[in-house]
Amino acid sequence: MTTTDKVSPTAAGSGASATETFRANQQHGAPEGVSPERVGTVVRAVLDSVHEAIRAHRVTYPEFQAAKKWLIEVGEGGEWPLFLDVFVEHVVEQVAAETQQGSKGSILGPYYLPGQQRLPSVAALPARPDEKGAPLVFAGQVRDIDGRPIAGAELDIWHADAQGYYSGFAPGIPEGNLRGVVVADDQGRFEISTVQPAPYQIPTDGPTGRLIETAGWRPWRPAHLHLIVRAPGYRPVTTQLYFEGGEWLDSDVANATKPELVLSPKAQPDGRLRSEYDFVLDRT
């Protein structure tokens, strides 16, 4: 936490934490998997499209210098993970999905933290005693492509709280809050109790937020649960689940929604919302 100890997460705070987390967590996007030939080919193509945009839009010197200043600020604010995951990752995910059969995936985003508490197949995510938000039960089964249950599959789940803030990135939230690794039973089944998250707003006080505001875009993602579902011998699925009727579902700034990823929770007799969702994993 910074010396100012603000209660709402500042762009600088959450951005810097996301950059530290990414560095500490190099298995997601390890540079070992990148060949020099690919660097030449892809960077050439990216530069070509930048040059084309400059020509097409008659970009001026003041505009070029403003862009340079903004790029420097994105780095200084630690917002590269935020910016790239919001504006670029969805296309990388779409390309990866072309070779995948199982459940639909979505982007990882900047707020995953590995090594969370392992929980039994029927479990409540760690939450504050006065955790706000509508109680939600999320249950289902993990199966293989042939419909066989995958015993002991892991559901690594994390989501924002009822204010749209993530533990580990916003100040004042206990470590590990609304995060956990739920281990499915011998039938691949799980039942997770948590609270409904709120939509996520990109911090408005950083360079990414200022860009969005200047361009007249909206800085919002619909409310979502993040999951990585994994089991030995299977290709992990990184995904997100959204809520039917939720705000920003049709205008996600990160373009990471898919129709297959929308839950329709129903109120149970006990008043809690309940939603069922099954996952299918490809063999490796």
Which residue, 130, 103, 112, 134, is CA-closest to 234?
Answer: 103
The H or E element containing residue 124 is strand 122-124
The residue range among 50-58, 104-112, 186-194, 204-212 that interacts with ligand MBD, by the rule CB under 6 A, is: 104-112
- Give the helix ranges, DSSP H, for 89-232: 89-97, 207-215
Nearer to ligand MBD, 82 or 261 (CB): 82
The answer to whether 85 contacts ligand MBD (rule: CB under 6 A) is: yes
- Both structure tokens of 27: 């298995």
One character per residue 204-223, x = contact with ligand MBD (rule: CB under 6 A): -----------------x--
Which of the listed partners (ligand MBD, Fe ion, none) does 198 bind, with a CB threshold of 5 to 8 Å by partner kind? none
The answer to whether 107 contacts ligand MBD (rule: CB under 6 A) is: yes
Q: How far is the CB of 159 from Fe ion (least distance, A)?
A: 7
- Report helix angle 11-24 to 80-87, nearest 10: 80
Q: How far is the CB of 9 from ligand MBD (least distance, A)?
A: 11
Q: How far is the CB of 197 from Fe ion (least distance, A)?
A: 8
Compute φ and ψ for 49, nearest 5 degrees.
-70, -30
Chosen residue from 11, 12, 86, 181 binding ligand MBD by CB under 6 A: 86
Coil/strand/helix, residue 179: strand
Residue 149, amino acid: P
- Both structure tokens of 75: 């780095």
Residues that bind ligand MBD (CB under 6 A): 82, 85-86, 107, 109-111, 200, 221, 254, 256
- Residue numbers at the binding site for Fe ion (CB under 5 A): 109
